[in-house]
Amino acid sequence: MKVSKHHYALELARQNCRVYFIEPPQLSNSGIEIKSCADHPQISLVSYKPVFRGKRFLPAFVYRFLLYRQVQLILKKINCRPDAVWCFQGYLFENLRWFKASVNLFFAADQFYYSELPPEIYSADLSFAVSDTIYERMKKSGQSVYMIGHGVQQRFADMAERLLNRGFSVPAGKKITAGYVGNLRMEALDREIMMQVVEENPEVHFIFWGSYQRNDLNLGGVENSETDRFVHFLEQKCNVDLRGAVSGEMLQEQMKEADLFWLCWKIGVNSLWDGSNSHKILEYLSTGKPVVAHHVSSYKGSDLLYMLPEKENSGYCDLFRQTVEVVRQGEDEQKISKRLQTAVQSSYKKKLELIEELISNG
């Protein structure tokens, strides 16, 4: 599965940039190796066996010297001075200036594991956050930090643009289909509420795309009695269609079957799942269809989602029923158009243009 760092690397390569994608360190690697990337000829994959380790046991100055030495070895292997270094993994190299690039960027796509901020923020010229809660934490650094949000793949942005250009219909009075995309064994799901929604809406057809079987978890997941019970419940319901994991192209095509989408997480299940944003939301928005969600704080103040106002899910079932009724009656076209425009403006290409503008103005 590709995440933000992969999509930005691909977009840079499409714009004829030479990209050296430094993979996470692995002790099983042999020295430093550079391989071509099957996704794009302008991308080279850099794998390495770390010379730095033992942070908890070594004096700080020794560990930092090993980090510095690692950077020098990578630069020697690449055999060029980068114009920009873009770090997506905090707490790794610590000082981005060691790469001697003209521009240093730090990108926080996930919540931080530790109470202290990643040291890379302090050597970055600009830092970016994908959610409001990450942004608020990063602001405490006193450095240049921007709320960039998630990006969406170009094919989803293109679909949204096509719908805007050729127009769209607002069906009313039909049987409603609700779509959900994501791993059904991920920790964050509020399974009790989700089962209640399915149980209380027998007239709604529910389609789930994403892994759910123990032996077919492409992104890992929780394997316990709670998730087993949830999956078994869905398998037994006559108004549920479990599609499993499908290709990106197939997913985009099949998402057209849904009349609305939904997202239901437990807020604060742990420090890494605060529910403040999800990249799936932009894929939902690219269809123009309504989205029912828990309290997603990064979208607070917008009318892009049918969202709970507070960080607790007791009103979720009522909100879902109300949204189903809105769809039955036929939704305001301006709301649909706004969702589509948001998806178009959130492509990785558009995000990259924004970042380039911020660098130029910096």
230-250 per-position pLDDT tens digit: 999 999 999 999 999 999 899
Average pLDDT for the chain: 93
pLDDT per residue as tens digits for the range 99-151:
999 999 999 999 998 899 999 999 999 999 999 999 999 999 999 999 999 99
When pLDDT is averaged across residues 156-168 and rounded to a whole number, the result is: 92
Calpha distance 41→37 (Å, rounded) = 6
Which residue's entry shows tokens 């305001």? Answer: 332
Q: Are 295 and 275 in contact (CB under 8 A)?
A: yes
Of 36 and 275, the structure prediction assigns the larger pLDDT to 36
What's at 204, amino acid-wise? V
Backbone angles phi, psi at 133, to 5 degrees: -70, -35
Distance CA 288, CA 165 (A): 13
Higher-confidence position of 189 and 55:
189
What's the pLDDT score for residue 255?
Answer: 97
Tell me: pLDDT of 170 over 70.
Answer: no
With 70 as the cut, is the pLDDT of residue 180 above it? yes
**4-151+347-361 carries CATH number 3.40.50.150:** no
CA distance 334 to 336: 5
pLDDT of residue 207: 98
For residue 274, the model assigns a pLDDT of: 86
Res 173: pLDDT: 66
pLDDT of residue 56: 76
Q: Which amino acid is at 90?
A: G
pLDDT at 217: 60
**Which pLDDT score, from 0 to 100, does residue 1 have?**
58
Sign of CA dihedral 324, 327, 332, 335: positive
For the chain, state the CA radius of gyration. Answer: 22
Domains in the chain: boundaries: 4-151+347-361, 154-344
Residue 172 has pLDDT above 70, yes or no: no
DSSP state of 24: P
Q: How far apart are CA 184 and CA 191, in angstroms?
A: 9
What confidence category does residue 220 fall into, taking pLDDT thresholds of 50, 70 and 90? low
Would the CATH topology of 4-151+347-361 be identical to that of 154-344?
yes
Which of these CATH numbers, 1.10.3720.10, 3.40.50.300, 2.40.30.260, 3.40.50.2000, describes 154-344? Answer: 3.40.50.2000
Classify strands 32-36 and 43-48 as parallel, antiparallel or unpaired: antiparallel
Q: Write the pLDDT tens digit of every residue in 57-75.
A: 788 889 899 999 999 999 9
Q: φ and ψ at 104, to 5 degrees?
A: -115, 125
pLDDT at 214 exceeding the cut of 80? no
3-state SS, residue 186: coil
pLDDT at 218: 56
Q: Considering the entire predicted model, what is its pTM? A: 0.92
Cα separation of 57 and 62, whole Å?
10
In the chain, what percentage of residues exceed pLDDT 90? 81
What band does 174 get if pLDDT is binned at 50, 70 and 90?
A: confident
* Predicted confidence band of residue 26 (pLDDT cuts 50, 70, 90): very high
Q: What tokens appear for 343 in the block?
A: 């998806």
